Structure 1
Amino acid sequence: MTVLVTPKALANQTVRDFKMLIDGKWISGNAAPIERVAPSHGVVVSRFQAGSKADALRAIAAARKAFDTGPWPRMTASERSAILLKAADLIAARADELAYLDAIEAGKPISQVKGEIAGSVDIWRYAAALARDLHGESYNTLGDGTLGVVLREAIGVVSIITPWNFPFLIVGQKLPFALAAGCTCVVKPSELTSGSTIVLGEILQEAGVPDGVVNIVTGTGAEVGAIMTAHPDVDMVSFTGSTGVGKLTMTNAAQTLKKVSLELGGKNPQIVFPDADLDAFIDAAVFGAYFNAGECCNAGSRLILHKSIASDVVARVAALAKHVKVGDPLDPTTQVGAIITPQHFDKIAGYVAAAKSAGAEVAHGGGALDLGMGQFMAPTILSQVTPGMTVAREEVFGPVLSVLTFDTAEEAIEIANSIDYGLSAGVWSKDFDTCLTIGRRIRAGTVWMNTFMDGASELPFGGYKQSGLGRELGRHAVEDYTETKTLNMHIGSRTNWWMPRT
């Protein structure tokens, strides 16, 4: 049964007020709280503390103390692993609450978010396993007088800054691995979607994470994020967001030469050859373009189609797009929810208008949907797009699919690699020689073959070029939060360098 929640009904529910977590205590800020208006219903649903620079400084100091003198880095790996496993169980127990918060604050379909929470539980459990597998190296081959041991030590205090499009999933791609390594953290979620991350703070306290190990400061990037990326007591910054803000983050971190991990934007191509399974591809194209309303760095926002099949594919994608259900995120049958803010909606609409002016044609959608509440955009397809158009080169971050064409494989590779991003890509052909040849030449961190946007906790995720630095997930994810230290041990007597003259 479809369950619709009207703005009036939602407004009658209690608005949830959240606090910040600093050094094990839940505190309020000194400024007026940030009110989050649900993008789907247009009513206030959450209030977050407007954290200040002073709050960020207290959180950094707490994390520094917890790392330098607290028990967390000194626990055995099995002890940290047990706490992370308990956290995973508690996340699963509160999955409905977490899913509701992400759905209503971000405008995401509730069914989709429940899948993201389940995925996050798996990531926390995977990180718990990696905690016990973190190890260094030994070298017993350096001669009778030398033994070399390479240690992996937690890097220290980590600032974790997460975006609004996957509020709970993305903090789960960072925080458990940092904790598994023995680090302490300051977390700043987006000021638009902080609720689920704050609940995570409650969960971690219940799981047994000591005070000061995880601190959560809400607020804006200018007020809170800037000091988190620049402060000398922070040893590493892990940031997910736009490429522009990623560059600013890197600039701030460079002042003290911090380690930086950046997961940034994407303009991801799907290259389709005439022999592809088009039935499978059509579904993947619609999913890749409109999943999470296109507000996804991994969105398959560029179709690069062989000219012989382009017209047919565009028509079939448009036909399927008509059946995509856009609407109330709290309706379990909804597939595409609301656009995050009115300002972002205007930005997406601006890209569509500019593309039309440049000669692109709207094959489907192209504008707002009036559902009587919130801000919703129709799934949009732009055909007749050329590689030089802005809409073919920049990340729109909305439900807009750009269609380009090619004659030869070389041309397809050139189009795919011609932009500043290199996060992910897809190749579609029944000839696996074609898939592997194209896949090896695409400059992207992930290349899917005859599928799109699949993933697993074991598989690294990250991009080439301006899509970021470093990788998340995978068996080396915990190592990213460590430093290596060489212990060079001399055995027996040592030959003097200075010899007295006779």
Structure 2
Amino acid sequence: MTVLVNPRALSDHKARDFKMLVDGKWEAGSAQPIERVAPSHGIVVSRFPNGSKADADRAILAARKAFDHGPWPRMTASERSAILLKAADLIAARAEELAFLDAIEAGKPISQVRGEIAGSVDIWRYAAALARDLHGESYNTLGDGTLGVVLREAIGVVSIITPWNFPFLIVGQKLPFALAAGCTTVVKPSELTSGSTLLLGEVLQEAGVPDGVVNIVTGTGPEVGAVLTTHPEVDMVSFTGSTGVGKLTMTNAAQTLKKVSLELGGKNPQIVFPDADLDAFVDAAVFGAYFNAGECCNAGSRLILHKSIASDAVKRIAELSRDVKVGDPLDPTTQVGAIITPQHLEKIAGYVAGATSSGAQVAHGGEKLDLGMGQYMAPTILEAVTPGMAVAREEVFGPVLSVLTFETRAEAVEIANAIDYGLSAGVWSRDFDTCLTVGRKVRAGTIWMNTFMDGASELPFGGYKQSGLGRELGRHAVEDYTETKTLNMHIGGRTGWWMPR
């Protein structure tokens, strides 16, 4: 049984009409707007401009002009930092408005989104600090006649393409670092969840970001995203989304050899040894699997349990899962909200059906939930899963937990690594030698030890293998938006190479 929080009808809610931002001007677009139906309530809550190829082209040219001739790349680092800090304060001041937009457009629990907005404020402040710490190198050891200086310069115009699952948080993992480096940008949020990103445009204008530095074009991938990844005036593409679209992005960008940063899918394991603190682990397993309704690249969707504890661990996880509150994202007690679209709900249910037909057993949940409106999935635990099943290898992107077992440390590592992804993993043991040994052998960008899905602005985030390229957060984030330039300076008289002196 799952605790249900039935959505309250939004009878007095009026759909919000948004405009997109191009070269400092707000535009409605010429096509019929995109209507966003709330996944939790089934009514239209937002309308976004359905941007065109021409809109994307104009935005890119505005960013190009702002980079080549505008003040932003030519400001001092302290000036850019001050604007980013003001933006952070303005985000904090509009936190509740931003949280409501992400909750109603994406179906995310409002309490969770409030935490994401607070986390984003911290990221903007961290990026502001890094803006003043971006520096190069000097080499005074090349002989009396040479001084070498290595510069970090803004890479130029950056296309930023963000997904629907963390609309405001993920743009905050990209945009402030690009701005800190001195870049100009064109941002394309998901056409499903564009509201909070468009509101961010208002915030940045108020903070003092010059026209053309941040452009926001809403629309579909084939219409807008394709231009942002192929246009010759774009120097870099930063994309977060599915691995399939990430590959297409990389192919498009390769035509003009753009730099690419990709944060893609994950099928993240939690490896649990017999000496683990099971109380702490069980809580982390439930949180890691169901957070954001499992629509999270970092979700701990695979449990790799030692056979000696598997039965007890699954029983305890199922017991805690029964207390998880699923339903209305606007209710502050809700822990798991709605599924993003009806089509995605069917995809999740299809994975569960495929697993059970292949021999997996449902230990909890497994069904779609009828709450009278919207679309919801019960938190689900599948045991007797084998490594070859699709549910153990592919990203379900829903609240579905697959349980596998192992007997030896080497077998656990082999199961963890036997997939195409390598975003993150967790290791649970009271023996730090076990944690460190396994953590060094699992091929993933982040390894949590006796915790799961913790993070900080200072810590880099990104994946191995088909989970992506590059890193976000940490000082690596701002460096990713730069080019390296070498100045080789001759001092004093020079001996001729061919001409006698």
TM range (shorter): over 0.9
Matched, 1:106 2:106: yes
Q: Which residue of 2 aligns with 1:411?
A: 411
Q: Which residue of 1 aligns with 2:297?
A: 297
- The answer on whether the counterparts of 2:295 and 2:398 sit within 8 Å (CA) in structure 1 is yes
Match for 1:65: what amino acid?
K
- What is the RMSD computed on CA atoms of the aligned residues? 1.2
Distance between the aligned counterparts of 1:139 and 1:498, measured in 2?
27
Distance between the aligned counterparts of 2:6 and 2:442, measured in 1?
44
Q: State the 1:411 CA deviation.
A: 0.1
Q: Which residue of 2 aligns with 1:230?
A: 230
Q: Which residue of 2 aligns with 1:278?
A: 278
Q: 1:5 to 1:285 in 2, by over 3 A?
A: closer
Q: Which residue of 1 aligns with 2:451?
A: 451
Match for 2:249: what amino acid?
T
Q: State the 1:452 CA deviation.
A: 0.3
Distance between the aligned counterparts of 1:276 and 1:486, measured in 2?
51
Match for 2:261: what amino acid?
S
Structure 1 unmatched ranges of 5 or more: none
Q: Once the two structures are superposed, what CA deviation does each residue of 1:175-232 show, in whole Å capped at 9, x if it has no partner?
A: 0000000000000000000000000000000000000000000000000000000101
Q: State the 1:61 CA deviation.
A: 0.4
Q: State the 1:476 CA deviation.
A: 2.2
Q: Which residue of 2 aligns with 1:342?
A: 342
Classify the secondary structure of the residue corresponding to 2:440.
helix
- The answer on whether the counterparts of 1:11 and 1:45 sit within 8 Å (CA) in structure 2 is no
Q: Which residue of 2 aligns with 1:21?
A: 21
Q: How does 1:149-164 map to 2 (within 5 A)?
A: 149-164=149-164
Distance between the aligned counterparts of 2:476 and 2:416, measured in 1?
28
Q: Once the two structures are superposed, what CA deviation does each residue of 1:225-269 show, in whole Å capped at 9, x if it has no partner?
A: 000001010000000000000000000000000000000000000
Structure 2-normalised TM-score? Answer: 0.98
Q: Which residue of 1 aligns with 2:327?
A: 327
Range moving further from structure 2, 368-377 or 34-43: 368-377
Distance between the aligned counterparts of 1:69 and 1:181, measured in 2?
16
Q: Which residue of 1 aligns with 2:251?
A: 251
Distance between the aligned counterparts of 1:360 and 1:198, measured in 2?
44
- The answer on whether the counterparts of 1:4 and 1:330 sit within 8 Å (CA) in structure 2 is no
Matched, 1:475 2:475: yes
Classify the secondary structure of the residue corresponding to 1:489.
strand
Distance between the aligned counterparts of 2:185 and 2:275, measured in 1?
49
Distance between the aligned counterparts of 1:50 and 1:175, measured in 2?
22
- The answer on whether the counterparts of 1:88 and 1:121 sit within 8 Å (CA) in structure 2 is yes
Distance between the aligned counterparts of 1:55 and 1:155, measured in 2?
23
Match for 2:420: what amino acid?
D
Q: Once the two structures are superposed, what CA deviation does each residue of 1:392-449 show, in whole Å capped at 9, x if it has no partner?
A: 0000000000000000000000000000000000000001110000001010000000
Range moving further from structure 2, 309-318 or 200-209: 309-318
Q: State the 1:500 CA deviation.
A: 6.2
- The answer on whether the counterparts of 1:427 and 1:448 sit within 8 Å (CA) in structure 2 is yes
Structure 2 unmatched ranges of 5 or more: none
Q: Which residue of 2 aligns with 1:192?
A: 192
- The answer on whether the counterparts of 1:339 and 1:377 sit within 8 Å (CA) in structure 2 is yes
Q: Which residue of 1 aligns with 2:83?
A: 83
Q: Once the two structures are superposed, what CA deviation does each residue of 1:57-112 show, in whole Å capped at 9, x if it has no partner?
A: 00000000000000000000000000000000000000000000000000000000
- The answer on whether the counterparts of 1:263 and 1:462 sit within 8 Å (CA) in structure 2 is yes
Q: State the 1:494 CA deviation.
A: 1.7
Classify the secondary structure of the residue corresponding to 2:335.
coil
- The answer on whether the counterparts of 1:268 and 1:423 sit within 8 Å (CA) in structure 2 is yes
Distance between the aligned counterparts of 2:104 and 2:185, measured in 1?
27
Classify the secondary structure of the residue corresponding to 2:474.
coil
- The answer on whether the counterparts of 1:11 and 1:44 sit within 8 Å (CA) in structure 2 is no
Q: State the 1:499 CA deviation.
A: 4.8
Q: State the 1:475 CA deviation.
A: 1.8
Q: How does 1:44-55 map to 2 (within 5 A)?
A: 44-55=44-55
Q: 1:352 to 1:4 in 2, by over 3 A?
A: closer
Q: Once the two structures are superposed, what CA deviation does each residue of 1:461-496 show, in whole Å capped at 9, x if it has no partner?
A: 000000000000002211110001000001112222
- The answer on whether the counterparts of 2:5 and 2:325 sit within 8 Å (CA) in structure 1 is no
Distance between the aligned counterparts of 2:310 and 2:339, measured in 1?
29
Classify the secondary structure of the residue corresponding to 1:366.
coil
Matched, 1:437 2:437: yes
Classify the secondary structure of the residue corresponding to 1:326.
strand
- The answer on whether the counterparts of 2:56 and 2:228 sit within 8 Å (CA) in structure 1 is yes
Q: State the 1:5 CA deviation.
A: 5.4
Match for 1:455: what amino acid?
G
Match for 2:165: what amino acid?
N
Q: Once the two structures are superposed, what CA deviation does each residue of 1:256-292 show, in whole Å capped at 9, x if it has no partner?
A: 0000000000000000001000001000000000000
Q: Which residue of 2 aligns with 1:144?
A: 144
Structure 1-normalised TM-score? Answer: 0.98
Q: State the 1:6 CA deviation.
A: 2.4
Match for 2:181: what amino acid?
A
- The answer on whether the counterparts of 1:422 and 1:445 sit within 8 Å (CA) in structure 2 is yes
Match for 1:497: what amino acid?
W
Match for 1:402: what amino acid?
S
Q: Which residue of 2 aligns with 1:385?
A: 385
Distance between the aligned counterparts of 1:13 and 1:246, measured in 2?
36
Distance between the aligned counterparts of 2:159 and 2:319, measured in 1?
45
Q: State the 1:371 CA deviation.
A: 1.0
Regions of 4+ moved over 3 Å: 2-5
Match for 1:219: what amino acid?
G
Q: Which residue of 2 aligns with 1:56?
A: 56
Q: 1:348 to 1:5 in 2, by over 3 A?
A: closer
Matched, 1:205 2:216: no
- The answer on whether the counterparts of 1:4 and 1:331 sit within 8 Å (CA) in structure 2 is no
Q: How many percent identity over aligned positions?
A: 87
Match for 1:240: what amino acid?
T
Q: State the 1:3 CA deviation.
A: 9.7
- The answer on whether the counterparts of 2:7 and 2:327 sit within 8 Å (CA) in structure 1 is no
Q: Which residue of 2 aligns with 1:182?
A: 182
Classify the secondary structure of the residue corresponding to 1:113.
helix
Matched, 1:123 2:123: yes
Q: State the 1:12 CA deviation.
A: 2.8
Q: Which residue of 1 aligns with 2:354?
A: 354
Classify the secondary structure of the residue corresponding to 1:385.
coil
Q: State the 1:161 CA deviation.
A: 0.2
- The answer on whether the counterparts of 2:139 and 2:148 sit within 8 Å (CA) in structure 1 is yes
Match for 2:198: what amino acid?
I
